[in-house]
Amino acid sequence: EAAVTQSPRNKVAVTGGKVTLSCNQTNNHNNMYWYRQDTGHGLRLIHYSYGAGSTEKGDIPDGYKASRPSQENFSLILELATPSQTSVYFCASGDVGFPERLFFGHGTKLSVL
């Protein structure tokens, strides 16, 4: 079964601090995604990657950076965290079948105070 693991599960950060959310997948999928989920909105795409070394901007990339150092790992970085970035963040990997299916992690709940 596909496995996507996110860490940490919960994070409290201070405004202006740096936050790194990590994601690891054991599916050997090329594509990986970072979404955020807020009340009143569906999941919204922040960054995605086609493979190691690549990162692409999604619909709401402002205030976020991404890093894909290997096939397995995809990180989301908040250099200067703000309270508006308080949210639940989901990482997903996508299989190579057509059409693609996404496999999600359990999410990281981030609170920026």
Partner 1 sequence: DAKTTQPDSMESTEGETVHLPCSHATISGNEYIYWYRQVPLQGPEYVTHGLQQNTTNSMAFLAIASDRKSSTLILPHVSLRDAAVYHCILRVFSNTGYQNFYFGKGTSLTVIP
Catalog residues that contact partner 1 under the rule CB under 8 A.
Answer: 4, 33, 35, 40-45, 48, 56, 58-59, 90, 92, 99-107
Six-digit token string for 103: 């496999």
- DSSP output for the chain: ---EEEE-SEEEE-TT--EEEEEEESS--SEEEEEEE-TTS--EEEEEESSTT--EE-S--TT-EEE--SSSB-EEEESS--GGG-EEEEEEEE-SSSS--EEE---EEEEE-
User: Please, are residues 66 and 55 in contact by the beta-carbon 8 Å criterion?
Assistant: yes
CB of 61 to partner 1, least distance (A): 12
CB of 105 to partner 1, least distance (A): 5
Nearer residue to partner 1 within complex by CB, 74 or 90? 90
Nearer residue to partner 1 within complex by CB, 18 or 50? 50
Nearer residue to partner 1 within complex by CB, 47 or 75? 47
CB of 55 to partner 1, least distance (A): 13
CB of 11 to partner 1, least distance (A): 15
